[in-house]
Amino acid sequence: MSQHKSNLPQEAPTLSIRGVDLWESWLSPVKQRQILEDIRTIVTKAPLLEPVTPSGKKMSVRMTSAGRLGWVSDSSGYRYEANHPYGTNWPPIPQSVLEVWELLSGSVRSPDCCLVNFYQPDARMGMHQDRDEVDFKQPVISISLGDEALFRIGQKTRGGKTDSIWLRSGDVLRLGGEARLIYHGIDRINSGSSPLLKNGGRINLTLRVVS
């Protein structure tokens, strides 16, 4: 009930498509660099992984996590784990990132997981639903950094009409309500479109209440 609402975001999104709310350029360049520095600390303590899908395909996106739980995928399936596969705890979610959740999520819960997705120029993410969490009434917040990405927004069932939008560095998305269970994916990266990362590429942070 009340743990889902309250704390409503004060600012209106700049674009809304089927419940997918987008705040374009919400993070200033200074904030983007602060978050990037905090991600470098996370990656030092919890190295990026090359996840394998349960069907045995290597994913092109490299991943790690921060928070109480991290998302992992290997031949035994997709799940959240309390430890990095190397055996250590996941580093804490940085304050710079928690602040975005607090201001835009509309949830009174704290996120359990900050998934860090790193896209090299040829990386992509196929259409999927996020269903490894317990409570789909809790929103998801996504932060884009670095090169722009073509994000595809589908429907709550596979197939059907899709819309595509470019996600740029500093953009924040909220997936709540009807949008929480839509199919979505990243079709491609526009390599070299942002100066934020020295060697190019894109980072996406996804904040979720897991359990």
Give me the residues that bind ligand MD3 (CB under 6 A), please. 115, 117, 125, 130, 140, 142, 149, 173, 175, 179-180, 182, 184, 186, 204, 206
Smallest gap from residue 2 Cβ to ligand MD3 (A): 22
Binds 138: which of ligand MD3, Fe ion, none (CB < 5-8 Å by kind)? none
Pick 45 or 181: Cβ nearer Fe ion: 181
Binding mask 120-139 for Fe ion (x = CB under 5 A): ----------x---------
Pick 87 or 119: Cβ nearer ligand MD3: 119
Question: Which one, of 102, 103, 72, 99, lies nearest residue 85 by Cα?
Answer: 72
Binds 145: which of ligand MD3, Fe ion, none (CB < 5-8 Å by kind)? none
Asked if residue 153 lies in contact with residue 130, where contact means CB atoms within 8 angstroms, the answer is: no
Pick 87 or 204: Cβ nearer ligand MD3: 204
Q: From the DSSP assignment, how many helices (H) and strands (E) are in the chain?
A: 2, 13
Rounded-to-integer distance, Cα 198 and Cα 137, Å: 38
How far from 55 is each of 30, 51, 64, 77, CA to CA, in Å? 41, 11, 20, 9
Pick 39 or 125: Cβ nearer Fe ion: 125
Pick 142 or 169: Cβ nearer ligand MD3: 142
Rounded-to-integer distance, Cα 59 and Cα 153, Å: 20
Question: Which one, of 121, 92, 111, lies nearest residue 175 by Cα?
Answer: 111
Pick 94 or 154: Cβ nearer ligand MD3: 154
Smallest gap from residue 204 Cβ to ligand MD3 (A): 3
Asked if residue 106 lies in contact with residue 19, where contact means CB atoms within 8 angstroms, the answer is: no
Rounded-to-integer distance, Cα 147 and Cα 182, Å: 24
Smallest gap from residue 96 Cβ to ligand MD3 (A): 18
- How many residues in the shown chain lie near Fe ion by CB under 5 A? 1
Smallest gap from residue 183 Cβ to ligand MD3 (A): 8
Eight-state DSSP code of residue 105: S
Binding site for Fe ion (CB under 5 A): 130
